[in-house]
Amino acid sequence: MLFIINENAILINSIFVQLNQYMNSIRIAVHGGAGTMPKKYMTPETEADCNTALQNALKAGYILLQNGAEAVDAVAAAVTVLEDFELFNAGKGSVFTNQGTHEMDASIMNGKNLKSGAVAAVSHIKNPIQLARAVMQYSEHVLLLGDGAEAFAKLHNIEFAEDDYFFSPFRFEQWQRAKKRNMIVLDHVDDKKFGTVGAVALDKFGNLAAATSTGGMTNKMFGRVGDSPLIGSGTYANNNTCAVSCTGHGEYFIENVVAYDISCLLEYKGLTLDDATNLVVMDKLKKIDAEGGLIAIDKNGNICLPFNTKGMYRGWMKGEGDFFTGIY
């Protein structure tokens, strides 16, 4: 009998150890765009607001992971918080197009089964990441565009918002300056600032996920679409390797299939996440004068947040009280 009791005690203890290891393995990272407002224009209040938004996004995703949700739930929740923060170029804070409208892109990918959903050039969706997730869950497609995507949103009760919800004086002034100079510009304030938002996460089941959302380029024309809604370019997740969300000059990220490139370097070359992300961001992209950054997490919970700009709004969370946010 004593042997059985001891044996059961060992088994129970082993289960608790495994559960604790699972909980300790959950991770989440977020970004609010590579490139930053120059320090001379960054007020203490604005800097505090940006850090608070990053922290709120991390907490929103991490709480779900703690409660047993999957990584795909966590990244969707985190990006939704970032979309609701008007200083980031996504959702509420999206920049103006040449026509004075807002055209937003978003994508999400589940590393467990490689299922993906994305939308591009949507104008009236409060949280584009929620629509991208609906595409992944309720359609046989990956990417829906414009009016068609909005028609799909109505079928699945995705929340809409009027034009005035997306209006901000800050973005309007950016657009006016861009129009006067007859330029299509990356989201910026007297310096380069890429305001795309994103999240990557690892859940206690070992699943990875990534999500990205953006308002694109100020004064963009012709229905331009960047890398954010393109699986493999701006977003990628695979349980065998890593999850990646990118931010930067989208055309270069598309041409170099950046998010998938990171995964390939892990899978086929056996590189570490740190080596792979640094090779792509600090070498490959810099050689072609492509500015930007990314956040990535691998299947072992390692997190990397490289950028080749003056800064990147970024953060990670590994446990209650164990988190980081930074800008410069």
Cite the active site residues.
196
**Rg (the chain; Cα; Å):** 20
Instruction: Say which residues have a Cβ less than 8 Å from residue 28's Cβ, sequence separation at least 6.
Output: 58, 61, 62, 65, 74, 75, 78, 199, 200, 201, 202, 297, 316, 317
Q: Which of 156, 285, 148 is nearest to 223 (CA)?
A: 148
Q: Which residue has the tokens 């024309």?
A: 221
- Whole-angstrom distance, CA of residue 199 vs CA of residue 137: 19
- Whole-angstrom distance, CA of residue 123 vs CA of residue 131: 12
- Whole-angstrom distance, CA of residue 130 vs CA of residue 244: 18
Question: Strand, coil or helix: what is 44?
Answer: helix
Question: Strand, coil or helix: what is 70?
Answer: coil
Question: Per DSSP, what are the bridge partners of residue 208?
Answer: 202
Give DSSP secondary structure letters for 222-264.
Answer: TT---STTSBTTTEEE-TTSEEEEEEE-HHHHHHTTHHHHHHH
